[in-house]
């Protein structure tokens, strides 16, 4: 597989193409030397030139779980920062988690930092009183920093994935009257709406305004308080893209990720996690047509694997996870060769107290009944 280097990258560094081609051989050599000591995990959204070296490919929770089960000491996570942190939290104490490029973050996870969330919680306490902890359940999406998962665990809350968000909200409402959901407003709103919660009872918390920009009355009446965060990739899908495909193809099925905005999700035929999207399209009969609302690398991979079906990106734009794209074959070659030389670089650390609290939140998620079957939209 050849390296995909953009025209801009090639212009900035004419040697890049050759170096990326050479990196493929360097990775192969290093992997052969390291053998079972290393496992490479590749997220569904990772570019092909990197994901081709993944021993396991999947979504972030699945990868972190499976990484902990292999005997490898070194987990090289070709994903983004919060995913590598999750692998540390779920991994064994003797495992070392490495992110090939420390600049591979997640813009959504960065939209809710611990300081902002603690300020918001203190403001909620001012409005709701000292019983806030008994009234409000914090729920964080897997796509959040480790310290935020720790905060949620500290207050008795749970983590959720795009597969089990509905189960997580049902669990939360069985215990408390309100849910504080972060960082993805769209996953929270789409899930709440399908549970029959009126939109006026789901308010948006703007972290840049005092009290989230909400009145006391709005906070008191809210059932779900949604953090004002979003995925910059999934937010690019628009309702007019759905209209266009429907206008030109009667028989196309629109399948989208629940990180897409509500107006898109409402118009879609099917809604679910990356694993759900993969499963549905792979299992569809030959001749099926799908317009898919998720990251372009995954869509292209599904398309290539299903030549007997029509599979296309829902948007006319590329919808690329640009932060995950920062990991190149050169980065992978570098961290693996350093391991061969006995040197660990780009290790991801999670402090013990944060890990312990985050595990409380993750264990609460595991207690959600039958959580893998709770798909948002079907
Ligand atoms: S696709 Fe969106 S949520 Fe997923 S890693 Fe990229 S920016 Fe974060």
- What ranges do the domains of the chain cover? 7-105+324-349, 109-232+354-373, 234-313
Tens of pLDDT along the chain (378 residues) come to: 444 556 566 667 778 888 888 999 999 999 999 999 999 999 999 999 999 999 999 998 889 989 999 999 999 999 999 999 999 999 999 999 999 999 999 999 999 999 999 999 999 999 999 789 999 999 999 999 999 999 999 999 999 999 999 999 999 999 999 999 999 999 999 999 999 999 999 999 999 999 999 999 999 999 999 999 999 999 999 999 999 999 999 899 999 999 999 999 999 999 999 999 999 999 999 999 999 999 999 999 999 999 999 999 999 988 899 999 999 999 999 999 999 999 999 999 999 999 999 999 999 998 886 544 444 433
Give the whole-angstrom CA distance, residue 270 versus residue 259.
13
Q: How many angstroms separate the alpha carbon of residue 107 from the centre of ligand 1?
A: 7
Question: Using a 6 Å cutoff on CB, does residue 107 contact ligand 1?
Answer: yes
Other beta carbons within 10 Å of 270: 18
Give the whole-angstrom CA distance, residue 288 versus residue 307.
11
H helix or E strand, kind and range, residue 11: helix 7-12
- As a CATH number, domain 7-105+324-349 is 3.40.50.10800
Q: How many angstroms separate the alpha carbon of residue 106 from the centre of ligand 1?
A: 5
Question: Using a 6 Å cutoff on CB, does residue 274 contact ligand 1?
Answer: no
Other beta carbons within 10 Å of 186: 22
146 contacts: CB under 8 Å, gap ≥ 6:
82, 85, 86, 88, 89, 350, 354, 355, 358
- Pocket residue to mutate for ligand 1, from 58, 64, 80, 256, most atoms within 8 A of Cβ: 80
Q: Do domains 7-105+324-349 and 109-232+354-373 have the same CATH topology?
A: yes
- As a CATH number, domain 109-232+354-373 is 3.40.50.10800
Question: Using a 6 Å cutoff on CB, does residue 80 contact ligand 1?
Answer: yes
* Residues 173, 215 contacting (CB under 8 angstroms): no
- As a CATH number, domain 234-313 is 3.40.50.10800
Strand order through the sheet with 289-293: 270-271, 252-256, 289-293, 310-313
Give the whole-angstrom CA distance, residue 341 versus residue 157.
42
Length of the chain: 378
DSSP 344-373: --SB----HHHHHHHHHHHHHHHTSTTGGG
């Amino acid at each position: 597989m050849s390296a995909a280097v953009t025209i801009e990258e090639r212009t900035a560094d004419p040697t890049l193409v050759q170096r990326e081609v050479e990196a493929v051989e360097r990775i192969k050599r290093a992997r052969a030397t390291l053998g079972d000591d290393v496992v490479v995990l590749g997220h569904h959204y990772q570019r092909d030139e990197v994901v081709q070296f993944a021993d396991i490919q999947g979504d972030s929770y699945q990868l972190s779980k499976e990484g902990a089960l292999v005997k490898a000491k070194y987990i090289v996570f070709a994903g983004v920062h919060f995913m590598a942190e999750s692998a540390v939290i779920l991994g064994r104490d003797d495992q070392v988690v490495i992110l090939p490029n420390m600049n591979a973050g997640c813009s959504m996870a960065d939209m809710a930092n611990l300081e902002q969330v603690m300020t918001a919680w203190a403001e909620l306490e001012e409005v709701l009183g000292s019983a806030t902890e008994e009234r409000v359940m914090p729920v964080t999406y897997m796509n959040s920093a480790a310290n935020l998962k720790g905060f949620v665990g500290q207050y008795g809350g749970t983590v959720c994935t795009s597969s089990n968000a509905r189960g997580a909200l049902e669990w939360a409402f069985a215990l408390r009257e309100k849910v504080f959901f972060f960082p993805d407003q769209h996953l929270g709103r789409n899930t709440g709406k399908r549970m029959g919660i009126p939109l006026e009872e789901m308010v948006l918390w703007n972290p840049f305004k005092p009290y989230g920009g909400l009145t006391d009355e709005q906070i008191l009446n809210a059932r779900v308080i949604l953090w004002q965060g979003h995925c910059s990739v999934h937010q690019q899908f628009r309702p007019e893209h759905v209209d266009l495909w429907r206008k030109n193809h009667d028989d196309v099925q629109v399948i989208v990720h629940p990180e897409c905005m509500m107006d898109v999700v409402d118009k879609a035929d099917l809604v679910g996690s990356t694993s759900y999207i993969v499963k549905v399209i792979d299992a569809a009969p030959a001749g099926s047509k799908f317009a898919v609302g998720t990251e372009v690398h995954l869509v292209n991979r599904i398309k290539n694997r299903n030549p007997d079906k029509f599979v296309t990106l829902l948007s006319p734009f590329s919808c690329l996870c640009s932060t995950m794209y920062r990991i190149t074959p050169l980065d992978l070659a570098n961290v693996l060769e350093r391991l061969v030389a006995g040197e660990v670089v780009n290790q991801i650390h999670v402090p013990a107290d944060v890990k312990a609290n985050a595990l409380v939140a993750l264990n609460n998620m595991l207690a959600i009944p039958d959580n893998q079957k709770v798909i948002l939209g079907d």
